Chain A
């Protein structure tokens, strides 16, 4: 089984790490880049596949050279075998359409030059753009089958099929069991959980960890970088030039208009009014 995991670096939005200027705009320079949290689940799904069925997992990312560190992180934590970075200036400011075209070109180039791929894994949304569009659009460009919002995954390498449980949102949420042929795109849901039911799986997992530590220490040996010419892409149809959408403005989340006049209360003496509001709803004594 050979899989590719699409991953991306994002600003670290966790408290204490993220930095905003006085206008409320994100200060990227002061905010560290980390692997997109949802992509970790895609990587976990790929790892589960490798532990159960053996094979090879490649991490692939499109972005600036600094994303090599994100791919290295993927190697350290989820034991990818190698890394591919699609990077050059022409790819800057791509929206999801241009990104999907570029990533699909990366996948096709990989298939032509490296090996056939059975599964492409991707996470649901990034923490910055939060579109949820890039995975499905990349799949569209490949014209492969796709299963999205996957929470559990089983693969049958002999039958060349996968079976997945996926979440459906509606007025009532549902869970579907889906069967799809390989090769296939799998987009993990934030609820995805890998399972290692057999002792042999757990042992394999442990062995992989030891083997990967050596590899990750020499990550650059396992990193291939492709630019738009390697991918045979015309600059007019990628990056900003190839992006249908632009961001016309970015506003900090606006302050809510003041609609109520709050009575300031000192808890040590002024609570009678508040408690009178609440008492009608108190539970009966002994409830």
Chain B
């Protein structure tokens, strides 16, 4: 029995009571009691801190472990938090169980200054009066009005980028569904800037936008971080002349999409920061639906579940392609985070058919640009030599990690087979691009990203696709699934690629490829025997 039953106390009370206990066993007993009872993350942490405070070896760190990380990247703070913590905003770690915590909480037994003083005031300060460094960045809007889905339409050489059209198509689909689900007609708003872009604004309407807001200035011919950020934020907040803003009556957009290109991703990061909101990067799937949250930071009340309507669910591959995360950008109780935004991987969505007769409103945005915003100057630019185009060939030979035993030899065998066809090219999987395989000089050029097939590489649809030593990750499938005939060569009959192949040749590529090359060259319909032959021209 412990002197204190933690279930009888709020975390604050418990924290205070713990300060009077110097006995390690006693503290461990309280920890056990908490686990058996309400099992509040914040309460457990309070006990751990006290254990640290008395210098006890706290070997069970409650899933808080050294080396886990979070810095600036998404943490796997799973939403279905089961914490019954008392409102202690400074403690709330949204984790649902210890295993998850191991993957979430990044600060290990951190600083030596144990027994952290709580804030003087349990923070509920909307007036942002603290003289702390962060306040200058907080725009601090709460209970604002939000509507519409905005799309930043990136341009190049006087044309809309393909991904801009793709985002408009997806935006159109999302907002048509939004209207069906909620009965509210909200719009797709394209926004763009450049030296001559009124025509492109009209083009955005043809590709699905209801409104297109554009800003023209010769200094904006090419992307520049500062002016593009300032103009985008100004547009989004509805600042500007009455004529250019009377089509809207809300504080900020509800949603916003940017292209996940070098410039689009940069812009998304800066604009969303400027608008005091968050975003997910490099998304490949989006949908809008209600979400039940229990994360106390977002609900404001630990142990309470709350349903948030109209949440943009942003799905993205991360952890070097090993996982898909769904990211949500949700308001805090006293601070709104809108627009909910993300950047979108080019090629993820289809544009809608261009319709030059679609009706929409084109609005010229009005704003003075400060000279100081143009401190970074582009002095010259060139088009890069186009990389390797893997599309449009009869045959693609794709190599995967199956070449690991002899990367250079495997690459040579793949190239030999490519040469046996009239019109073929060599592709590789992401696994090879990101591997640390050592290729000898003469084949190293084939190991570069420009030959990658898959979601983040090229999408091909040849008549014959030969996948040698390819395991068949779903991202790879996206890049080759439209091929007419898919032939896999693999020793592992459980490899995923079997589920999307027409033929699965059970064998080692190092042994099969040279024989296959020979047979194709000779016009044979059987492989020459390797060790044991059984003819087989059937």
Contact = CB atoms under 8 A, between A and B. Distances in A.
Residue from A66, A234, A259 whose CB has the most chain B CB atoms within 10 Å: A234
A262 B538 contact: no
B325 A250 contact: yes
A103 interface: yes
A178 B280 CA distance: 28
Nearest to B109: A65
A235 interface: yes
Interface stretch (A19-27, A46-54, A200-208): A19-27
A127 B320 contact: yes
B327 A263 contact: no
Nearest to A162: B376
A149 B436 CA distance: 22
B193 to A, nearest CB: 15
B375 A245 contact: no
Contact of A126 (B73, B321, B496): B73
A269 B525 contact: no
Contacts of B97: none
Given A171-B162, A282-B420, 13 more contacts: A88-B107, A127-B319, A146-B266, A174-B384, A244-B337, A256-B500, A261-B502, A262-B488, A265-B504, A267-B506, A268-B533, A276-B525, A285-B521
A241 interface: yes
B261 interface: yes
A101 to B, nearest CB: 5
Interface in B320-355: 320-330, 332, 337
Nearest to B537: A272
Contacts of A264: 493, 504, 506
A113 interface: no
Nearest to B381: A176
A281 B330 contact: no
Interface stretch (B15-23, B26-34, B61-69, B248-256): B61-69
A77 interface: no
B306 interface: no
A173 interface: yes
Contacts of A220: none
Given A101-B137, A271-B519, A235 B72 contact: no
26 contacts: A10-B69, A61-B71, A63-B71, A65-B66, A87-B107, A89-B110, A126-B71, A132-B266, A140-B269, A145-B375, A166-B262, A175-B382, A176-B381, A181-B376, A231-B133, A234-B132, A248-B313, A248-B326, A251-B325, A262-B504, A267-B512, A267-B515, A268-B533, A268-B534, A269-B526, A282-B421
Nearest to A244: B278
A283 interface: yes
Contacts of B505: 265, 267, 271, 274
B370 to A, nearest CB: 12
B535 interface: yes
A277 B74 contact: no
A131 B72 contact: yes
Contacts of B71: 8-9, 61-63, 67, 94, 99, 126, 134
B225 A131 contact: no
A247 B77 contact: yes
A28 to B, nearest CB: 5
Contacts of A87: 107, 110-111
Contact of A279 (B92, B280, B387, B525): B525
